[in-house]
Amino acid sequence: MMTIMQNAALDTAPRGYSRNQVRLRHSYGPWAVVTGASDGIGLEFAQELARAGFSLVIAARREARLNAVADNLREAGAPQVKVVAVDLGAPQGVSKLVEVTQALDIGLLVASAGFGTSGDFIEANLPQELEMIDVNCRAVVELCHAFARRFKQRGGGGLLLLSSLVAFQGVPRAANYAATKAFIQTFAEGLRAELKPHGIDVLACAPGPVQSGFAERAHMTMGMAQRPVDIAWPSLMALGRRTTVRPGWLAKLLEYSLALLPRWGRVQIMARVMRGMTQGASS
């Protein structure tokens, strides 16, 4: 909940910033951590936060790519940008990120790093499937545990976790990926109620198909897809106000089209969708 002083600050927003940008920074600044920030949705989150005046810690595997992103974020308005090249699927990946940020006043974590696979599970590359669980689930749990403890000590903060439209039913030919997102969805819902008394906001962002490097890595073809720009800002605006956001028209359309079906019916629909998106694909 905002204090009287914070509300007064919003009413006198600095030139160049919108009231919403100032509210966001007052609620969750001055520093934010964004994982998966080298491209796609994670990059768009970092850009929106830079435009709102956040200093940023951006994390992904490709250091050269992150350095280029950091230059753009500084130009967009980020006072400071720290680059952390790290593989969150590796045993010490999360520990490295937490250690690097220890001295910073982090108020927001956007856990956007993740990847998917597609194809029949019994033909899948098992080490890759287990790596996906590490990145999509284990790393998120570790990060949330570390930063939520810090947020409690500082009196507030925000956790924004990437769920998905596929989190709400089983998805044939993406069974393991959908299961990782179901884990994140349930995790976020529980954490929001648990952490609210400590002033910590938690949001699950559940978009539909998005134009990014995800589809290429997952060997999927997307006929309709939203842009990352359609996802990031609406999600940031929902943080602290909702438990789950389905940003963009496509996510809402798909949600409404599936809402009245029983769970088994949604599974059958998703099976048809995945057959069309993964013709000839293998994990």
CA atoms within 13 A on the CB side of 191: 27
Q: Which amino acid is at 160?
A: L
Where does residue 156 fall: left (phi above 0), alpha (psi -120 to 50 degrees), or beta otherwise?
left
Task: Give me 35's structure tokens.
Answer: 């994982």
Other residues' Cβ atoms within 10 Å of the Cβ of residue 252? 12
177 is catalytic: yes
CA dihedral 46, 49, 54, 58 (to 10 degrees): -10
Q: Which of 28, 152, 181, 252 is catalytic?
A: 181
Q: Which of 28, 177, 252, 256 is catalytic?
A: 177
Alpha carbon distance 36, 210 (integer Å): 15
Task: Give me 267's structure tokens.
Answer: 């599974």
Q: What are phi and psi of 83, to 5 degrees?
A: -100, 130
Beta strand spans in 214-282 (E): 244-245
181 is catalytic: yes
Parallel, antiparallel, or unpaired for β 55-60 and 81-85? parallel
Q: What are phi and psi of 159, to 5 degrees?
A: -120, 120
Beta strand spans in 36-188 (E): 55-60, 81-85, 106-111, 157-162
Other residues' Cβ atoms within 10 Å of the Cβ of residue 200? 24
Catalytic positions, please?
177, 181
